[in-house]
Amino acid sequence: MKRIVISVFVGLFSLNFLVPRKESQPALAHLESALAEFKGMVAVDQERARIRQKVTRIVERFNPDMDEKTRDRIIEEIIRMSVKYDNLDVELICATITHESGRNWNPRAVSNAGALGLMQIMPRTGAWLAQYEEDIAWTTAEEVLFDPILNIRLGCRYLSYLIDAYGLEGGLAAYNGGETIARKWLASNKADGILWDETSSYVPFILKLYEEFQGRTM
């Protein structure tokens, strides 16, 4: 990076002072364009570093004992999914994982209903997503869904689809309680008593964490 910016500035200096102005204009415009592109690259790198630091602090807050290699792979996958899906950002993914995993970010978390991994995916749903959406070889539910990278990839694919279909609140309701109950809830203008008790608590819990992660200086 330093070599690039030095070369650009040397080039600008040379063109301004060593070459007649009229002759230097096309090359000067090219160098100015290169400098603008370089500044854009620096801004992107800085933003990525800021996001990475934020996600790192979230993970360390809830699972300070996670080994560094696993943590770094998880962070990179979360960032990658936030780029891949326009309707998911790192804060929403982190909020979902935090609540789904029981606030401990344990890649081997298991629910009473049999959902597995960081994003608590049911084996049947995971097998369908793996085969038809992500082209992931399905061996066993434990092998695939306890892999934090595959779990995040499948969970984000499913969550993005549901949010696209039902909006943020409806998508979260569908992720927890199923699409049928989410559709009924939305059709009733989000009336009380439609969602399962767990789902009616699930949606505001996720939204509260989402808001916290968005506003927190991590």
**Tokens describing residue 208:** 């509260």
pTM above 0.85, yes or no: no
Supply the DSSP string of 135-194, one letter for each residue.
------HHHHHTSHHHHHHHHHHHHHHHHHHHHHHHHHHHHHH-HHHHHHHHHTTS-TTS
Question: Which residues does the chain have with pLDDT short of 70?
Answer: 1-24, 27, 36, 38-41, 216-218
Name the burial class of residue 168, with classes exposed (0-12), middle (13-18) and buried (19+) by CB atoms within 10 angstroms of its CB. Answer: middle
pLDDT for position 26: 72
Q: For residue 120, give the nearest of 109, 131, 106, 105 by alpha carbon.
A: 109
pLDDT number for residue 8: 46
Q: How many CB atoms lie within 10 A of CB 112?
A: 5
